[in-house]
Amino acid sequence: MADHTTLRLMELLLTAEIVNREETLGIADLTPACRKAFSIGKNGPDLKRPFIVSNSVAKRALGIDEAHNLVKSNPFIGFDDFGQRLSITALDPAARWFLERGGRVQASANPVLAFYYEKIGADGIAYKAAVEANPRYEDSRAFLEPKIEALKIVSEDIRDALGLVTILAPEEIEESFESFVATPDQLEMIGKIKVAVANREFLKNHQIYQVGRLLFVGPPGTGKTSFALSLARELHMPILEARLSMITSQYLGETSKNIDRIFEIAKRLAPCILFIDEFDYVARTRDSDDHGAMKRAVNTLLKSIDQISLIKSDVLFIGATNHPGILDEAAWRRFDEAVPFTVPDIAMRQAILESITRTLRIIPDLSILAARTEGFTGADLRLMVKEAIMAALIEGRDEITEVDVEQGMLLVDRRNALRKTGWIGA
């Protein structure tokens, strides 16, 4: 059995050798670690062969000093002193050595290696399965970054507007539907969007454009932002997150221009999700006493929504509001679907607690804890568990007790009470 560091180095060497031999393999077959090691993807998806593994590449990718010393006794590895390059001198025996020394898990997860091992008939290693499990290049920051850089040279206005949004590639998003407890309404919406994405050309050919403009409605802490992020990861789309309170400007006319620019960025980065939080900050009723610039901003926002579509523009638009009652009626009409996010009931609280604590050692009965936390949002439950974890760690424990959970509940109660009372001056 070889040590883990040696296996990682051998994986890199085998990947380089196989890719150099097999012209049919592309960037989708490289693991994220290998893309990074060989600096692939930053300037497009084309592979520039040959791949070379040197001591400096091993140092940068694996943190290994003098990597050739790790494999100098391996008869299938060559080393060029002048160029400080390592190479596979005999692929078949080197590949067998890798499997026999504990590399089967890596071989099954690396599409390049899986391609080779399946080709030579190694049992239990499937190329298709490795490709399906491998993170997509299109989900990576390396794929997204050139598109963002190209936007910066479009105009100074677009470059400035990029500072008003947070742009995340799917690989950067931690939230996922594996840990998100969704309601039946939310699950139904996910299904509709997936069907629309899969049948986009059909819908376009039949001029069915009113798809993919969603309004998330619910109080703070009920998962609107987490759901949008999870959806981006599920659909393999980057997400642009903007808050309308950040877009508004003290300079007359700038708010409308900022709105235009953000929608333009979304169109240029498509396919993507444009998620606008605090949607009610601008899109409030025009019957209010807002000044003319704000009313123009509402009109600009409505016009921008009209010009964007999952079917036409490949942009899924999501607005989120805590205050649906103050939304302009025309804004309501722009959305294909309003998706409710409510304070969870006891069953959902238990499911959320089970998800949050699935990797923890916890003594309290979660069904009892769910009953005791009536009125808690998902965010409240996460805060409670976080505080319980900290209380345990402070005492040198990794097991959460009833006392730890009590401390977490008290923190949430104090926080919510403070929010309701507001600021009291001295």
Strands 77-80, 85-88: pairing is antiparallel
Alpha-carbon distance values, 199 to 102, 193, 305, 318 (Å): 44, 10, 22, 20
Across the chain, which distance is largest between two alpha carbons, in Å?
Answer: 81
Q: What is the CB neighbour count within 10 angstroms for residue 379?
A: 17
Residue closest to 3 by CA, chosen among 102, 106, 108: 102
Residues 6+ apart with CB under 8 A from 354: 366
C-alpha closest to that of 212 among 240, 235, 192: 192
Record the tokens describing residue 212, joined without a space. Answer: 């993919």
pTM for this predicted structure: 0.84
What does the pLDDT read at residue 285? 53
Q: Provide φ and ψ at 81, rounded to 5°.
A: -60, -40
C-beta of residue 257 within 8 angstroms of C-beta of residue 143: no
- Do 293 and 251 contact (CB within 8 A), yes or no? no
- In DSSP terms, 315 is beta-bridged to 272
Domain boundaries for CATH 1.10.8.60 within the chain: 346-419
The DSSP element (H or E) to which 80 belongs, if any, is strand 77-80
**11, 94 contact by CB (below 8 A):** no
Question: What is the domain class of 346-419 according to CATH?
Answer: mainly alpha
Strands 53-54 and 85-88: antiparallel
Q: What is the mean pLDDT, run by run of 10 residues, along the chain of 426 residues? A: 88 96 94 90 82 91 87 87 89 94 95 96 95 94 92 89 93 88 90 94 92 93 93 95 76 79 94 91 59 76 91 94 85 90 94 93 94 93 94 94 93 83 50
Q: How far is CA 253 from the centre of its chain?
A: 34
- What residue ranges of the chain are covered by domains with CATH 3.40.50.300? 139-340
Count of residues for the chain?
A: 426
Side by side, the strands of the sheet bearing 337-340 are 166-168, 239-243, 272-277, 315-321, 213-217, 337-340
Element (H, E) at 55: helix 55-62
SS3 335: coil
Q: Which residue has the tokens 């039946």?
A: 184
Does domain 139-340 bear CATH number 3.10.20.30? no
CA distance 123 to 360: 36
The Cα 400–Cα 15 span in angstroms is: 44
Structure-token pair, residue 377: 């949002």
- Range list of H helices, 199-278: 200-205, 224-235, 244-247, 254-269
Q: From 360, 350, 261, select the one nearest 301 (Cα to Cα).
A: 261
